[in-house]
A and B are shown apart, each in its own frame.
Chain A
Amino acid sequence: NAGVTQTPKFQVLKTGQSMTLQCAQDMNHEYMSWYRQDPGMGLRLIHYSVGAGITDQGEVPNGYNVSRSTTEDFPLRLLSAAPSQTSVYFCASSFARGRWTEAFFGQGTRLTVV
């Protein structure tokens, strides 16, 4: 059972470039989310989705887009990378059955924008 898989693990981008961080889960979880982790800032929610076709903004959505065309995949798009987006990005998933259950996290993508 692979769980939550994020690709790539590491990425270096130049300012202004765009890219997509991939996230896939094989647990049939309805709920998926993206966080960024910065030193001293904890985990901050970027976007989340409670099911295919449904997305919503989190605490720090600016500069990022998401879509949810399937239950399994929840890609995060950086439209025009900025140095402030240098961070470690985590994708998480869980069941969404009207109450919270365990959230499973991927291994993370370390992104550097130069």
Chain B
Amino acid sequence: QQQVKQSPQSLIVQKGGISIINCAYENTAFDYFPWYQQFPGKGPALLIAIRPDVSEKKEGRFTISFNKSAKQFSLHIMDSQPGDSATYFCAATPYSGNTPLVFGKGTRLSVIA
């Protein structure tokens, strides 16, 4: 059973456009939702994270939107750049207790000029 469903699997966006990646979860115990960015040949690195006490978190061009009632959260990349081309993973876990992160299957983003 896939606990975190991520879509789309791949995404092509024009330079300057908005990239949107969506994730949905089932487990109501999840209350920590990080996004990881992975460049080819590298390990994933934390990009941004959110907890359910807020509906949106913004860091530069990256924004997480969170809908607790729908059990969905999404990553928005504004003014997408070729350097944003990477694979993005959403993840979820209970914030307390150090239960392992559960990852989505990833989205390969290509930003074309």
Known: A96-B98, A100-B32, A100-B98. A42 touches B103 (CB 8 A): yes
Q: Determine whether B45 belongs to the interface, using a CB cutoff of 8 Å to chain A.
A: yes
Which residues of A sit under 8 angstroms from B101, Cβ to Cβ?
45, 100, 103
- Chain A binding surface, main DSSP class: strand
Query: Which residues of B in the span 82-113 have a Cβ within 8 Å of any Cβ on A?
Result: 89, 93, 95-98, 100-106
Most buried by B among A31, A58, A99: A99
Complex: how many Å from CA A100 to CA B102? 13
Nearest opposing residue in chain B for A3, CB measure: B43
8 Å CB contact of A99 from B42, B95, B106: B95
Query: Which residues of B in the span 6-56 have a Cβ within 8 Å of any Cβ on A?
Result: 6, 9, 32, 34, 36, 41-46
8 Å CB contact of B46 from A99, A103, A108: A103
Query: Which residues of A in the span 37-59 have a Cβ within 8 Å of any Cβ on B?
Result: 40-45, 48, 50, 58
